[in-house]
Amino acid sequence: MTGEESLRPQSLMLTFLGDQVLGRDVCVYSGSVIDVFARAGIGEQATRSTLTRMVGRGLLRRQREGRRMYFGLTERSAAVLRDGERRIWQTGAVNRHWDGTWTLLGFSLPESWQRQRHDLRSQLTWSGFGPLFNGLWIAPGEVDVSALVAELGLSAHVKVFRAHADAGMDIGQMIEETWELSDLAAGYAGFVRRWQPWEDRLPEADEALVLRLRLQTEWLRIVRRDPRLPVKHLPDDWPAEQAEKTFRAVHERLSPLARDASERLLDLVPARPQA
């Protein structure tokens, strides 16, 4: 199975909205979304239920125009999409400018707090942390986790420090022991294997729109899982740089055709101020 086959409809939807709606103050017709997603192999019922769930979660808002229903962004979804944009186009996949700073987070929770422990570990992993020891996690750079910890209600049980490694410590070995580098590397290598052929192919415009949708969704999923470890302490054959080159080359190749298709296929209306 390829990585693109397991992409969730909501992830594809967020990419689609980031491409077509973010920063434009417009709403998109549900029928247009259904049409594009059908070309991506996602049925009408799955697309409609994704739209409904996202409205329920505060990620989309509805706007009726005559007999047609249009969907626009909320402040929450716009913030999520802007963060994804930064992660792809500004932060990037390769950390060349690390200043030697680490963020250390220690926590001690009662034995009975299994759910809270699971939630904290999940959120820390999402934020780029790895388990240095059982109750001590570490991330490269200065990571602000105050909002995350407060949201989980664990501020009284967590301590956060900034630190530098001792001169004699083998940082490369520490990284290998703390993060699953083989899984990260396999993700990047698989991305290159799937997408590099498209650096030299030119699809039909409608196919280019769907391909770019999958390309961006898959790339964002990979880079969000990457804690952006300092490249000078990673293996010499680390595949992130090649994967990023492939992503940018294919995105640039697909974009003119994808824009043509979106102008032809999408019904957009100005977003009205919400009551």
- Tens digit of each residue's pLDDT (9 = 90 or more) over 102-117: 999 999 999 999 999 9
Q: Can you give the pLDDT at residue 4?
A: 44
Q: Average of pLDDT values for 225-244?
A: 95
Mean pLDDT across the chain, nearest whole number? Answer: 94
Distance CA 196, CA 175 (A): 29
Q: Average of pLDDT values for 138-148?
A: 94
- What are the φ and ψ backbone dihedral angles of 110, each rounded to 5 degrees? -55, 150
Tokens coding 92: 């990037």
Q: Can you give the pLDDT at residue 180?
A: 93
Whether the pTM exceeds 0.85: the reply is yes
Q: Can you give the pLDDT at residue 54?
A: 97
Whether the CA torsion 144, 97, 233, 221 is positive or negative: it is positive
Distance CA 95, CA 56 (A): 37
- Residue whose tokens read 């995350």: 148
Q: Does position 130 have pLDDT exceeding 70, yes or no?
A: yes
Cα angle 123, 124, 128 (rounded to 5 degrees) comes to: 120
